[in-house]
Structure 1
Amino acid sequence: MLKRSIYLLFLLCASYLSSQSRAEQPIPTLKDTLNKHRILKSIGMGYFPTKYFNFDLRYLIKYNQYEGVRTGIGGVTNNDFSEKFRMNSYVVYGFRDNRFKYSIGGGMRLSEDTNTWLNLAYTDDLQETGSTKYITDDRVFQFFEPRLLNIDLFHKHITTSLTLEHQISDHLLSKLDFAVSDIDPTYDYAYVLDGKSYSTFNLTTGILGFQWSPFSKFKETILGTQEIKSGFPKFSFQYTKSLHDVLNGDFNFTKLDFRTIYELGNENSHFAQMILVSGIAIGDTPLTHLYHAYPNNIRKAQVLQRFSVAGLNSFETMYFNEFFSDKSFTFQLKYFIKPFHVTDRFRPQLVLITRYALGDMDHQERHQGITFDTLNYGYTESGFEINKLFYGFGLSFTYRYGAYYLPNFSDNIAFKFTFNVTL
């Protein structure tokens, strides 16, 4: 699902393709069709292609509470530049923090048969504290990222990384990453260990990740290996090791992360989606690398003051920075009812949702300067969405109950709008 802003780019692309067709061929050929398909596929993945360089649409414009408006430009060289080498970079600017962020990198293909690449990158940017990124995830492209609007807890990082990616089989992707990072939280925070207080710190980490899609179907095409049928369940596993006293690393910890996604039914009718995510951090782990369960609620007194955009897989009634854990488990169930066929163009859809989170933390006293709770009693919320009411807009209602029910009734309610466009 892509966001509505992509329509403008499709119009530009269509105009470009139309002019090319008129100038070169009055009758479309197989080559024309493939070229159009490649361009549309590139835009669907978040790139606008040119002869040698594909512009990355993720960096055009974003917004969050720390940077305000964040805008910039970036991209990566394509196969017309080289099939064995690639260069990628971006530069962005935040108007609220008045700071440039950037990344410079490149890669070398070691094997075409297994799509094995060795990549090197230098990055000076921000990352959300408590978030977990699976390095094997497919590229996620969204013009509009709902949670990003309200996030205010970031840490700066300057990271040099060396990554080896290898396609073990069509169904199994692996990545190995080695990185050295300087971490500087943008908020008042210190990690206390062995009598020493760390407000900034260095990390030396190795990450090994796998993504397994055993039931998906793949096919070799002119455009490369393509997933022609998405099968479920899908599994992601990641092992992270932080090394103390290696290249000035300050902490020694281990993280294990697991995620599985399962869908049952037909998207054109009734279907269910289940997402299970778990993680554990063992050792001396600062808050920046712990877990927050992806909250998406801002601290305002009235329900309508908290009215914003519902995320895709976030806890809508959980307030930002309310919970952190070093052991985390979340489960989400969505049941999509068959769209109501009001007219051919107006087909709203009801989605029933329930979410559960469980977590705990050892040595909470080590984290100074910030107040938070853990999830050791279990967090529960349920609700519904009515999507596609008007040009991709819909409404969301979620209710918080159970062990973390708040005394004020209205504080347990999240009323928001949804924004989804399917092309």
Structure 2
Amino acid sequence: MRFLLIIFLVAAALKPEAQVILKGQILDKSTRDPIAFANISYNNGRAGTSTDIEGQFTLSLPEQYNGEIIVSHVAYEKLVFTYPDFKRSHALILLKPLSLTLQEVTVVAGENPAHALIRNVIKNRDNNNPDKLRDYQYISYNKVVFAPSEVDAKTDSTINALIAIRDTSELKKSQKELITFDSLSRRMNFFMSESVTNKKVLNPGHTEEKLIGLKVSGFRSPLFANVATNFQPFSFYSSYLNILSKDYLNPISPGTFSSYEFHLSDTTFHQQDTVYIIEFAPRPNRNFDGLKGFLSISVDGWAIKNVVAATADPLAKTKVVVQQNYEKVGNQWFPAQLNTDLDFAEMKMYGRSMRLIHRTFLSNIQINTNLKANEFSGNQLILEKIEDERSESVVNQYRGNPLDSLERNTYTVLDTLKELKSVLVMEKMLDALATRSIPLGLLEIDLTRFITANEYEGARLGLGLHTSSSFSKRFKVGGYFGYGFRDKAFKYGGDAELILDKRNDFKMKLTYQNDIIEVGNNIRQPIQNVGTTFRNFLAERFDQIESYSLALHFKLFPGLYVLPSLSYQTLTPLYVYQFETAEQTLNNFTLVESSISLRYFHKEQNLSFLGKKIPFSTQYPILAFTYTKAIDLLDADFFTYDRISFSAKFVKHIRKIGKSNLILQTHYMEGLAPYSKLFSGFGGKNESSVETDGYFQTMGLYEFTGNFYAAAFLKHNLGNIFINTRFSKPELLLYHNMGLTTLSTTQFQSQNLNTITLQSMDDGFVESGVGLNNLLRFNYLDVGYLGLGLSAFYRYGAYQLPTEKDNLAFRVNVAFSF
């Protein structure tokens, strides 16, 4: 009996203590915004929990607990509750912001405890980085709200005084507008969208995110869908973090202590885990694109548990704050919530500034589920229209928290606009801009043929027409025509395309064209941008071309495309030119070419929208290789040349030194060829002062020619190393471009260009330059800056021109920044 009594007493002692579960939310007392990652601790800080991104928490307390409960956050004043007080007020807790801002926090010089913790995080970042996993998938619920902030105190006082006036006829128009705007702002947001996507990733190279649910206030188009990576990177572990298309140096990266300072501000406990709260900010007098905020570091795996990071530039027009919360999925830390807040503080309307609030919640997270490559469509983002009722049902299913009254009113009011003709027209225009086409039932108009321009044709107007996916999802046929107002000539063509395998982008295309083509067309850049597109406008030396071609196109593996082709073409120079040999003289040329091209786009991003594949981003490197052979077939002239072309573009961040862009080109031809098939047209000198990547800025458009061409174009941005003011934030640019061409004696003797000089640059062409981005910047709609920059290039070496000013070229650039 005594033995049984002892067992009973021991069991009673081991019985779990009853727990009380308390749920609540913590908000900023001034703005009523949720406070993410606030700590709620008890038992002298040895136990507790923290809020999620929405400021919500769940705290489990022993039923008999009678000690203090502390609510703290590094940016807010601490609150200490007795247990009875906390039970009464836990549902909604308001914290008062501290007067100190993050950049004013004093960090003790030298080694501090935060450094050892940050080193551990950096050491383990590959283990905790979700982008290093073999595969994963999840469902993402995304919400975007565009709304005014709380009204400032002065305007609020004015509004209350106006409302107190009984006779509204005494009010001025501006006063009535103020009252109306305030009433509207208190009842609804100005825009809202909710979307649900299903995302899966198989590393390396396979990504797909598909829209499965959408609800947009006032609109229906999938273009209004949003995903987390529209605003911020998926994880916080890369050396550079791309936020709204700008790269910021990550405080969790090698060598961080020379750029950032850290301060260990708190230690909390979450279940069995210890969590350290570390503040970070750029070191004083360091000019780089940095962030400030705080990290919650878990001892479990030395991983980021949550992070709040704001852009550190005090002069930014728009304040950007990103938040990420990580949770354990099995043994792997994985993002569970991502927030982005854009505060347009200077965009004032009736005493309120504008804000864009983005929230993402991940669910159904699965890791290392043995995904296969054939489960991916080849499109990284799929935004296709979904039937309204089914779409709304999916949104309701994955919406974690009910809509508040402002959000419900936003839908109620703005959804009445969906059927307005002006809204429908606007949606169709947006769809047309995205797809570059206008649907007309079984047909569609190709907008890319509508208007172009160059120096030879002047303005060129045209029209393209193809069958649409409504006609066939596998086959399309169409044509185009264009008319140049300067050369007063029509051009036209047609094509037929058969899609053999949509997932691998495998298609066969038959093309006919009677058009013009620029000489040296075989050295086009691996990727087009504003500068290279502008260079095409400068083109002035063309051949008329009539050609028939058959081409295949398929994806060998992610990012790598293969394009074999066979073409029959007749070229007629539109300038004074003859090709001469001992036997004959030719004024036009009939050629048969076979070629194979390889194109590689690192981590390319393609959008599937309305049945069309639309490239929208890529990372570097970008590589292009082409081998072409002229063959003696049909009635082709005697040309039997072989031509090899390779081009590449690389972009590299170098810590403390800046960002480098490198373009490499090499082209070689063996055998005889007419002038237009040689390598030329790599000059970009013009009077319009626009920089053209991959071209020589001080070289005439067709100044040099060769059957061998090699070039390197280096552009390095050292970043903002001078001043940072509202009117100027210059970034120092350095340029160095080098090129070489050779022209064989046989080729030279065969070309009769009359008034055109044929010259190679065997001794090497060299130019260097220096520039400043954002030398001047101007306020743009109170949301950002429009920056104006200037670069100067100088030509020297073997091909320096005798008149000094002819060796100089000046270029301008325009950039937007928040």
In the TM superposition, what whole-angstrom CA distance separates every residue of 1:326-360 from its partner, at most 9, and x where no partner exists?
Answer: 001010111123367544x9766443211110110
Q: CA deviation at 1:320?
A: 2.4
SS at match of 1:356: strand
Deviates more, 1:393-402 or 1:224-233: 224-233
Equivalent residue for 1:50, pick from 439, 443, 452: 439
CA gap of 1:38–1:257, structure 2 versus 1, over 3 A, is farther
Corresponding residue number in structure 2 for 1:416: 811
CA gap of 1:220–1:72, structure 2 versus 1, over 3 A, is closer
Alignment of 1:201-280 (within 5 A): 201-213=589-601, 215-216=602-603, 230-265=618-653, 270-280=658-668
Equivalent residue for 2:454, pick from 49, 60, 64: 64
1:356 aligns with 2:738: yes
- How far apart, CA to CA, are the structure 1 residues paired with 2:681 and 2:512? 28
Instruction: Say if 2:571 and 2:589, in contact at 8 Å, map to a contact too.
Output: yes
Equivalent residue for 1:337, pick from 714, 718, 722: 718
- How far apart, CA to CA, are the structure 2 residues paired with 1:144 and 1:62? 14
CA gap of 1:410–1:218, structure 2 versus 1, over 3 A, is closer
- How far apart, CA to CA, are the structure 2 residues paired with 1:144 and 1:378? 23
Opposite residue 384 of structure 1, the aligned amino acid is V
Q: CA deviation at 1:312?
A: 2.7
Instruction: Say if 2:680 and 2:702, in contact at 8 Å, map to a contact too.
Output: yes
Opposite residue 66 of structure 1, the aligned amino acid is Y
Instruction: Say if 1:209 and 1:237, in contact at 8 Å, map to a contact too.
Output: yes
Task: Tell me the TM-score normalized by structure 1.
Answer: 0.80
Opposite residue 281 of structure 1, the aligned amino acid is M
Instruction: Say if 2:675 and 2:751, in contact at 8 Å, map to a contact too.
Output: yes
Instruction: Say if 1:170 and 1:218, in contact at 8 Å, map to a contact too.
Output: no
- How far apart, CA to CA, are the structure 1 residues paired with 2:703 and 2:616? 41
Q: CA deviation at 1:271?
A: 1.3
Q: CA deviation at 1:41?
A: 8.2
Corresponding residue number in structure 1 for 2:67: none
In the TM superposition, what whole-angstrom CA distance separates every residue of 1:37-70 from its partner, at most 9, and x where no partner exists?
Answer: 998687357x144355554443333332221222
Corresponding residue number in structure 2 for 1:74: 464
Q: CA deviation at 1:218?
A: 6.2
Corresponding residue number in structure 2 for 1:368: 752
In the TM superposition, what whole-angstrom CA distance separates every residue of 1:261-301 from its partner, at most 9, and x where no partner exists?
Answer: 1110289x931111101010111111101112510225xxx
Instruction: Say if 1:58 and 1:142, in contact at 8 Å, map to a contact too.
Output: no
- How far apart, CA to CA, are the structure 2 residues paired with 1:225 and 1:371? 44
CA gap of 1:158–1:29, structure 2 versus 1, over 3 A, is closer
CA gap of 1:224–1:99, structure 2 versus 1, over 3 A, is closer
Opposite residue 296 of structure 1, the aligned amino acid is G
Deviates more, 1:231-240 or 1:97-106: 231-240
Opposite residue 751 of structure 2, the aligned amino acid is H
Opposite residue 256 of structure 1, the aligned amino acid is I
Deviates more, 1:330-339 or 1:103-112: 330-339
Corresponding residue number in structure 2 for 1:321: 702
Opposite residue 412 of structure 1, the aligned amino acid is N
- How far apart, CA to CA, are the structure 2 residues paired with 1:237 and 1:38? 38
Q: CA deviation at 1:99?
A: 0.2
Instruction: Say if 2:467 and 2:477, in contact at 8 Å, map to a contact too.
Output: yes
1:405 aligns with 2:805: no
SS at match of 1:232: strand
- How far apart, CA to CA, are the structure 2 residues paired with 1:211 and 1:41? 28
Opposite residue 511 of structure 2, the aligned amino acid is A
Instruction: Say if 2:577 and 2:587, in contact at 8 Å, map to a contact too.
Output: yes
1:312 aligns with 2:688: no
Corresponding residue number in structure 1 for 2:288: none
- How far apart, CA to CA, are the structure 1 residues paired with 2:733 and 2:553? 37
Extract unaligned runs of 5+ from structure 2. Answer: 1-190, 192-214, 226-382, 386-426, 778-785
CA gap of 1:408–1:346, structure 2 versus 1, over 3 A, is closer
1:124 aligns with 2:501: no
Deviates more, 1:270-279 or 1:220-229: 220-229
Q: CA deviation at 1:142?
A: 5.7
Corresponding residue number in structure 1 for 2:763: 377
- How far apart, CA to CA, are the structure 1 residues paired with 2:546 and 2:671? 23
Alignment of 1:31-50 (within 5 A): 33=225, 34=383, 43=433, 47-50=436-439
- How far apart, CA to CA, are the structure 2 residues paired with 1:319 and 1:392? 28
Q: CA deviation at 1:311?
A: 1.8
Corresponding residue number in structure 2 for 1:302: none
CA RMSD of aligned residues (A): 3.7
Corresponding residue number in structure 2 for 1:187: 575
Corresponding residue number in structure 2 for 1:282: 670
Q: CA deviation at 1:248?
A: 2.6
Instruction: Say if 1:62 and 1:144, in contact at 8 Å, map to a contact too.
Output: no
Extract unaligned runs of 5+ from structure 1. Answer: 1-17, 19-23, 299-305
In the TM superposition, what whole-angstrom CA distance separates every residue of 1:225-268 from its partner, at most 9, and x where no partner exists?
Answer: 8989734323211010111343434411110011121110289x
- How far apart, CA to CA, are the structure 2 residues paired with 1:417 and 1:259? 25
Q: Number of residue pairs matched?
A: 390
Deviates more, 1:100-109 or 1:350-359: 350-359
Opposite residue 457 of structure 2, the aligned amino acid is E
SS at match of 1:127: strand
Instruction: Say if 2:445 and 2:464, in contact at 8 Å, map to a contact too.
Output: yes
Structure in which a larger fraction of residues adopt helix:
2
In the TM superposition, what whole-angstrom CA distance separates every residue of 1:188-210 from its partner, at most 9, and x where no partner exists?
Answer: 11111343111111111111001
- How far apart, CA to CA, are the structure 2 residues paired with 1:279 and 1:186? 25
Corresponding residue number in structure 2 for 1:21: none
Instruction: Say if 1:210 and 1:237, in contact at 8 Å, map to a contact too.
Output: yes
Corresponding residue number in structure 2 for 1:104: 494
- How far apart, CA to CA, are the structure 1 residues paired with 2:595 and 2:697? 30
CA gap of 1:219–1:395, structure 2 versus 1, over 3 A, is closer
CA gap of 1:218–1:54, structure 2 versus 1, over 3 A, is same
Q: CA deviation at 1:393?
A: 5.2
Corresponding residue number in structure 1 for 2:479: 89
In the TM superposition, what whole-angstrom CA distance separates every residue of 1:7-39 from its partner, at most 9, and x where no partner exists?
Answer: xxxxxxxxxxx9xxxxx9856679573469998
Opposite residue 409 of structure 1, the aligned amino acid is E
- How far apart, CA to CA, are the structure 1 residues paired with 2:539 and 2:712? 22
Structure label with greater radius of gyration: 2
Corresponding residue number in structure 1 for 2:265: none
Opposite residue 738 of structure 2, the aligned amino acid is Y
